[in-house]
């Protein structure tokens, strides 16, 4: 017998609301199955079970908001009883977050199961609205417009914080990062001509659903460079750095109306570029719809933040704890560039690294960025 | 297919990607991606949806002709007739 606990889905989460019990009491569950869906400041997160057995009982009602580490369900694993705290393997104990006192608690919901569109859920989670407290038309899901109307009608009752739930989550994680992590920063200019030309050539014969975008190549180049510079890939916890085996690269994804999340694409080196592109589209689609998997939030080992093609030259990232590095890439633009002694016009992007000085230093960081650059000059090999 | 049909279809596909911005709020002659605040993957999703819906190729080299709501509607009109 063991217990399935409310997981910690990152440095910025202290509690979550159970919104779906995906496995009924008496039903079997296998390791890897989605056992529950939990609403957090980031949206609805599907939680995988890390054990196999039979769900005997749910201990928390749908709609209830409970702290990280609270037992949600009992699972009969066929083994003797274990202390509850030791049962759910992947969940690290929540780190104390000093911001906690300053954070406005999410409204506690009333318990009914609510039908709502993904856009509505996402907006509600972002703004800290209890979706189950909104008026419903029987048989009709709550839509984005309903939540927006509610927000208009009911201004934030605690205007002194003025922060949405999503903004508070970002504030908590980034405050911790700036407090605990001694960041250092490097920048490097990269010529993008080879990459841009290669992508144009590949995409020319392809239907839109099969076309590639530059971030796929950034991800592949970073993953390959990490094989040589593994000190930038992993987690720093309790005074110790644990390098990760695989490059699970978190991709910073902006959400409509503000906020961002950085869920992981798993083992990027092991994915061919077309497969990685499909995974990236799927991930971004799910994130924008406000629904993703717990592992995607907790198991990123480094982050990529790309400004896309409507941004500025460069950015200096803030490391997402317990990771130790974040790679940034600015918007490529035509710039003067010297080739063989001649000034020519070339597509240039600024690559940046923010890294944790407890783990690495500028010398190795510079070699890491140069390795990414080198791989981007050979896009056909990525 | 009339211009109205095309604009309606375009409006539907944009609403899927940018549910928080209505057609009435935007300037149809301004940059489509700025008006709807859509990034390159949103735009690729829009092109994918329109290409499927209308049975078109919509190659990347034509993206320049799709830079505003009006230009995109013009593009679809031209390729559907």
CA A166 from chain center: how many Å? Answer: 13
CA distance A358 to B11: 51
Distances from the Cα of A356 to the Cα of A94, A271, A368, B15, angstroms: 21, 27, 14, 41
Q: Per-residue pLDDT averaged across A203-219, rounded?
A: 96
Greater confidence (A288 vs A367) lies with: A367
pLDDT, one tens digit per residue, over A120-153 is 777 777 677 777 777 777 777 788 888 888 777 7
Nearest to A103 by CA among A43, A41, A59, A42: A41
Burial pattern A99-109, b for ≥16 Cβ within 10 A else e, equals: beeebbebbeb
Residues of B in contact with A200 (CB under 8 A): 60-61
Min Cα separation B41/chain A (Å): 7
Cβ separation B41–A209 shorter than 8 A: no
Contacting B with CB below 8 Å, chain A residues are 119, 144, 148, 200, 203-204, 207-209, 211, 213-214, 254, 256-257, 280-281, 284-285, 308-310
Q: What is the 3-state secondary structure (H, E, C) of chain A?
A: CEEEECCCCCCCCCEEEEEEECCCCCCEECCCCEEEEEEECCEEEEEECCCCEEEEEECCCCCCEEECCCEEEEEECCCCCCCHHHCCCCCCCCCCCHHHHHCCCCCCCCCCCCCECHHHHHHHHHHCCCHHHCCCCCCCCECHHHHHHHHHHCCCCCCCCCCCHHHHHHHHHHHHHHHHCCEEEEEEEEECHHHHHHHHHHHHCCCHHHCCCHHHHHHHHHHHHHHHCHHHCEEEECCEEEECCCCCEEECEECCCCCEECCEECCHHHCCHHHHHHHHHHHHHHHHCCEEEHHHHHCCCEEEEECCCCCCCCCCCCCCCCCCEEEEECCCEEEEEEECCEEEEEEEEEEEEEEECCCCCHHHHHHHHHHHHHHHCCHHHC
Cβ separation A203–B60 shorter than 8 A: yes
| pLDDT in the model for residue A161 | 52
Angle at A303 between CA A298 and CA A309, to 5 degrees: 130
Radius of gyration of chain B (CA): 11
- pTM for the whole thing? 0.76
Q: What number of CA atoms fall less than 13 Å from residue A243's CA on the CB side?
A: 10
pLDDT, one tens digit per residue, over A62-74 is 888 998 889 999 9
Residue B17: closest C-alpha in chain A: A288
| pLDDT in the model for residue A154 | 64
Instruction: Out of B20, B40, B59, name the one closest to residue A213 (CB).
Output: B40
Q: Which residues pair with A40 in a beta bridge?
A: A43
Of all residues in chain A, the percent with pLDDT exceeding 70 is 87
Instruction: Out of A200, A207, A257, name the one closest to residue B51 (CB).
Output: A207
pLDDT, one tens digit per residue, over A254-277 is 888 788 899 999 999 999 999 999
Q: Does B38 touch chain A (CB under 8 A)?
A: no
pLDDT, one tens digit per residue, over B17-55 is 998 888 888 999 999 999 999 999 999 999 999 999 999
Phi-psi region of A84 (alpha: psi -120 to 50; beta: other; left: phi over 0): alpha
CA distance B3 to A338: 49
Q: Quick check: bond before A322 cis, omega within 30? A: yes
Min Cα separation A300/chain B (Å): 21
Q: Does B55 touch chain A (CB under 8 A)?
A: no
């Amino acid at each position: 017998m063991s217990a399935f606990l409310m997981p910690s889905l990152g440095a910025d989460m202290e509690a979550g609301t159970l919104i779906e019990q995906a496995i009924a009491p008496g039903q079997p569950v296998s390791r890897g199955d989605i056992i529950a869906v939990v609403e957090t400041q980031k949206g609805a997160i599907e939680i995988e079970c890390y054990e196999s057995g039979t769900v005997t009982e749910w201990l928390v009602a749908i709609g209830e908001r409970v702290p990280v580490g609270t037992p949600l369900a009992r699972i009969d694993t066929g083994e003797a009883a274990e202390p509850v705290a030791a049962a759910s393997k992947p969940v690290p104990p929540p780190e104390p977050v000093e911001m906690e006192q300053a954070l406005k608690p999410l409204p506690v919901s009333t318990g009914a199961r609510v039908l709502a569109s993904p856009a509505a859920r996402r907006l509600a989670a972002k703004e800290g609205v209890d979706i189950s407290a909104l008026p419903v038309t029987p048989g009709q899901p709550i839509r984005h417009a309903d939540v927006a109307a509610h927000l208009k009608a009911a201004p934030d009752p605690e205007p002194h914080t003025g922060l949405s739930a999503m903004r508070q989550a970002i504030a908590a994680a980034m405050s911790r990062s700036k407090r605990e992590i001694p960041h250092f920063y490097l920048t490097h200019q990269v010529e993008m001509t080879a990459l841009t030309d290669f992508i144009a050539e590949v995409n020319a014969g392809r239907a839109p659903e099969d076309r590639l975008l530059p971030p796929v190549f950034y991800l592949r180049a970073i993953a390959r460079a990490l094989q040589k510079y593994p000190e930038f890939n992993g987690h720093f916890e309790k005074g110790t750095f644990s390098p990760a085996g695989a490059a699970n690269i978190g991709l910073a994804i902006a959400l409509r109306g503000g906020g961002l999340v950085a869920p992981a694409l798993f083992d990027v080196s092991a994915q061919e570029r077309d497969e990685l592109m499909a995974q990236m589209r799927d991930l971004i689609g799910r994130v924008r719809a406000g629904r993703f998997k717990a592992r995607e939030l907790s198991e990123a080992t480094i982050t990529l933040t790309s400004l896309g093609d409507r941004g500025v030259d460069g950015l200096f990232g803030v490391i997402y704890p317990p990771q130790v590095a974040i790679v940034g890439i600015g918007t490529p633009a035509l710039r003067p560039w010297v080739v063989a002694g001649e000034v020519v016009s070339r597509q240039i992007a600024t690559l940046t690294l923010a890294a944790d000085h407890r783990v690495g230093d500028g010398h190795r960081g510079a070699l890491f960025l140069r390795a990414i650059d080198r791989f981007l000059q050979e896009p056909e090999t990525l | 297919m009339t211009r109205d049909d095309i604009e309606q279809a375009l409006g539907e596909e944009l609403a899927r990607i940018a549910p928080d911005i209505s057609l009435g709020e935007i300037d149809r002659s301004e940059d489509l991606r700025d008006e709807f605040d859509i990034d390159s993957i949103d735009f690729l999703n829009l092109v994918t949806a329109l290409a499927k819906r209308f049975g078109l190729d919509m190659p990347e080299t034509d993206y320049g002709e799709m830079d505003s709501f009006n230009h995109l509607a013009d593009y679809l009109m031209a390729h559907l007739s």
